Every structure is written in C-alpha cells, then in structure tokens.
Structure 1
C-alpha cells in the first residue's frame, strides 16, 4: 500500500523539543514502513522519515506559532496544498492520511484519492470532516457516534525502562494557562514534594506573572526550560504530573512516561482516563485535594506495572494495525 502521510505545518516531523502530534505522525510513519508499506511524508523543511519526504517550502518551523493562543493566527496551509497537488498529480497513492488542520487537498479533491483525516484537538463550533478519526473515545464522543478513534502508540523499544527513580516529579507541557502549571506547583508545595517544570514558553504573560514568581518563591520547584529530548527525565522522574485546564484529547507525554516505567498523576480531562488506570499506573484526580494526596503516595505505584500497561495498550504496532484497517475501509469505498 502506498500512503501519503500529511503532517501539520508547525514543527518538523519528528520534532526537536515540543511537538506531540508531529511525533505521533513520525511514529506511525516509521511503523508503517517497517510493516512493508510505502509512505511519502509531507512535512515542513527539516523533516525526515525512512521513506520519501516531501519538504513543504514556505514554512519556517523555528518561527511557527506554538499551538493554541488567543492572539496568534494559524499558519496558512496553502503551501501544503500546492505541494500535495503537484506531487499527487504525477505520483498517485492508494490512500491519504491527513493530520493537517485545514485538510485543503482532500476537501477540495474528495474523489481523487481515498482518505482519512485525523484530529488532534477538540472541535471548534461548526467543525465537520468526512472520514474523521479521533484520538480517544472521549474525543470521538464530541464528534458523534459514527466517528472511530485510534489511541496513539510509540515504538516501545526506543524507550528505556527505569525502575529506580532518582529525580523529582516533572511536569512537561507548553508553559500556558490551559496547561495549568500553577496548579501543579501549588499542589507540590502543599504535598511537600519537589517539582520540575519543563516546556517552551507559549504564554509569556502567564510565565512572567504566574510561573516565574512561583518558582522563585517556592523551594523545590524549578523551571528547566524546553527539553530537546524528554526520555532521560521521564525515565528518572518520580512521576509525571499533568494538570490540563482544557479538553486534552490524549497527551502523548503520558504514554511516553508509562513506556519509561514512570507513573502519572493527572487531572481527569479529555481522554486521560483512557490512559491512566487509577491506582495501577498512576492517579486520576478529580480535584486539587486529590492531586495533593496523589503526590504524597505515588511512590507506591509499581514502575513495572506502568511499563506493562504501556505494552498492553500503547504499542505503535497496534496503532498502525488499527489505521491500516481504516485505510482498507476507505479504499473499499466506505465513508463515515
């Protein structure tokens, strides 16, 4: 099967530092290639995969906006559309898997090739796409009964399992109000636990007025910046903490943490309940007080059980197999 894999035009695929969806796209692309499929990846300059890569000119990943803000505008996907039109006009594929936001090619030419569209964020009002695939059961529920979902997966062989933890808890996410770092910091303080914050600053006002003063004032809390690679920290951290204030569809960093044998403490938002088995691979918290209690007792969670659940649920081979079944459905003329 020849597959056109269309990444989003904000970061390189795979990303350097932050870039969860770009990493998911890369993991899936590489696994499909390992399984014998031919994949052409459409992505920003600097991207690569083991198959063919079409670098989309007109994008500068280092200057792209970082995710969801009230003030920044999304990038135009017209350069991506033009590159796809040029390539596909003389090199046809069996199916297109589109992770972009605007989905310009498949919406403008819906009959040219079979396609599926993967969404990685909650839908805005009026959002509707054919052949849509969600990232979690909770995410799919927002779109309607007919929308399937596929949980993300990672190549577990690349993640070092570390049963002995030598670092404090860590919170990894873009520094932005909707990621809720201040909640994690205050909970750690009241739990008497040290906490590292890692991530690129997306919301500079939030960082200046909220996070930096808290880090300065509270002993044991540190901001270590954006990490070029998270594995060393995830493998050695006492726990990963996630405190989203929005509908987080399925945070990849939780899967990466479990793959390293590191438990996760998280507020119950979006698809996170489909990743955490409360009391087995971490704690699923409904309130601030539960977050504090979880931080106090997380050392009781078995790293071996964390890795075991990652192997059971979040192997990239499972993700690829589920997507292949969806590709076959659209190739056979099915739509939803």
Structure 2
C-alpha cells in the first residue's frame, strides 16, 4: 500500500499513440507503461489505461480507442511540422480523457506528441507528462517548455542526460525507471553469443553492433520490431557474412530467457537515448552491457563493473570491450538492477512526484 497517500489515487494513464500496446511499435514506452501500472497497482491506486485499439495489457482496466496512429517523432527533422492525421487516435484519446477527467485525481501522459502538452492548460485535472525522448524537434521543445514553466513539476524524464538536451532541464524530474525483476532469471553460464535488442531503425545504430560481431567472430542475436525495412535490408546487404540471427519481437518472458544466455548486450544508439530499458533487463539477467557513452545508458552502466562504456560510434571501441567482457562479475549486474531499478524503488519515485504535483 501507499506510504505517502492516505487514500488511493484514481489515475487515468494515456498511452503512446504510435502503436497498440503489445505491438512493440511503441518501443520502450510500452514497457515503461507496464512497469508504471504494476508499481502503482501494487500500492492500491486505481488505474485505467487509454490506448489505441488492439492494445493488450493484462490485469488493468483498458479503454481501446479507434483512429489513425501518429508518426513516430524520431523519424522527423528538427524543423518538422506538427501533424495530426484525419481521425487521429491521439485526438480521440484526449477527447475521451476530457470527457471523463473529473472521475480521476490525475492524468498521466506517455505520448511524446505536441497535442497533450498543448491541451494541458485547458484541462481541469492536473496532467503528469512522462517525456520519453530527448530534444528532437523545435516545435515539441517549445511546447514542452511552455508546460514545464507554467505547470511546475509536471514534466518527468528518465535520465539527467535526457534532461540536458532541453533548455528547461531544471524543470524536469528524473524518475529513471523500474521493472518487475521477478520476471528476469539470473543466468551465470552464458552461451558464446552477443545480444542486441531494440527497434530496428537508423537511430538505433544496429550496423555498428553487426560490424563488431563480424570482427570478433561471435554470433550476434538480434531481437526487436523491424520498424524500417529498407534499413534492415541495407544492413543485410552490407554485411553478408556477419554471424547474425534475427529472432523477431519477443515477449518479456521469452526475451529474458534468450537474453540471459548472452555474454553481453550491445547498445549502439546514434541519438541520445532517454534511458535504455533493455540495459536494465540485461543487468537483471546478469548480462553485462557494452554501450556508447551517450544518453541514458551512460548513467546506467557502471564502467568496468557491470559493463563497459565506449566512445560513441566507435566499432573499435565495441570490439575492445567485447574482448574484456569475461572479466566482469555477472552477479554484480543483477545486484545493481535490484538496488536501483525494482518496482518498489520506481514506485517510491512516482509517488513522490505525484505528491509534489498534487500539493
């Protein structure tokens, strides 16, 4: 039960609008929303999730909303215009929220999109915005900053590195993330394989991991949604002899089992990752993380203890770290996950945020 609130809160969670929950299209936001729901439910709060039609999330009241999905923000340039398609699922979700808002104490927005921030002043109930990405477009930055300044304490982020990308960094609350660690089994004896997990899209830099695997001659297992088919096909064409195997998009139960069998997880983002959920999933399985010293992963990985941080965009750096990976203690990886990224620790951070926001 909650240690901060005398009575449970009623919270309306509004999901990402780029894909149905369970599809993988929402990337790390899907996993974050699931963790938030678990952490808050365990403390007795009453939750309802509003999400695109076709969404699946067991154990929580879910309101499916029909409509056209939004374009992902990370595929656009800095001067990208705000776009809302006809019969927008985002618009429909927030129209629903407007109608039912008085039934809730708090609304919780997970969408990295202009509309929810623009609507904030027009709602009677407070809105907590969990921003899932760093600075991407000028239009988004301007709108989030307006809310951050006028509605102090309503902007949550996943890392200090993410906040640093914004002019309004001092108005952001660092929540990090948390997971149900009971779902992740510790594996002390890995197979001779490396892992890469994430959306297959240019900003994730998969080709660097493939190049490193080819140099060291260790099989690289790849899991995640292919968001950019042309990008994936180019990697296959550019590295025809690389020892890679694509395993599709897996559920948490399936992923943790095969991920845990890996000697290391490679994280090769070209952009500033807000956090890096898969880094925590990896550590929970006892798998060290080799990541570029960029964005959220640079705050998670303990260099020389639970993984290695290497120069961004350096394949040579990845190769050097792979050669040193067996010098790390896999039990330290699990211990770090338990100490900082459990649902209990995450729930504490969320409730503290809500208390400040509501009072």
Q: TM-score, normalised by structure 1?
A: 0.88
1:264 and 2:289 are equivalent in the alignment:
yes
Asked whether the 8 Å contact 1:195–1:221 carries over to 2, the reply is yes
Aligned-pair CA distance for 1:49 = 4.5
Aligned-pair CA distance for 1:15 = 4.6
1:13 and 2:21 are equivalent in the alignment:
yes
Aligned-pair CA distance for 1:55 = 1.4
Asked whether the 8 Å contact 2:24–2:225 carries over to 1, the reply is no
Map 1:175-190; keep pairs closer than 5 Å. 175-190=200-215
Task: State the secondary structure of the residue aligned to 1:216.
Answer: coil
2:184 corresponds to which residue? Answer: 159
Q: 2:62 aligns with which of 49, 53, 58?
A: 53
Map 1:306-325; keep pairs closer than 5 Å. 306-325=333-352
1:121 and 2:145 are equivalent in the alignment:
no
Task: State the secondary structure of the residue aligned to 2:172.
Answer: coil
1:79 corresponds to which residue? Answer: 92
Cα distance in 1, alignment partners of residues 287 and 155 from structure 2: 32
Cα distance in 2, alignment partners of residues 288 and 280 from structure 1: 21
Task: State the secondary structure of the residue aligned to 1:230.
Answer: helix
Aligned-pair CA distance for 1:23 = 1.2
Map 1:1-336; keep pairs closer than 5 Å. 1-15=9-23, 19-45=27-53, 46-58=55-67, 68-70=74-76, 76=88, 77-88=90-101, 91-102=102-113, 104=115, 107-110=118-121, 111-123=123-135, 124-126=137-139, 127=141, 128=145, 129-130=147-148, 131-143=154-166, 144-209=169-234, 211-218=235-242, 220-228=243-251, 229-286=254-311, 287-332=314-359
Corresponding pairs, count: 325
Q: List gaps (5 residues or longer) in structure 1.
A: none
Comparing 18-27 with 70-79, greater Cα deviation is found at: 70-79
Task: State the secondary structure of the residue aligned to 2:75.
Answer: coil
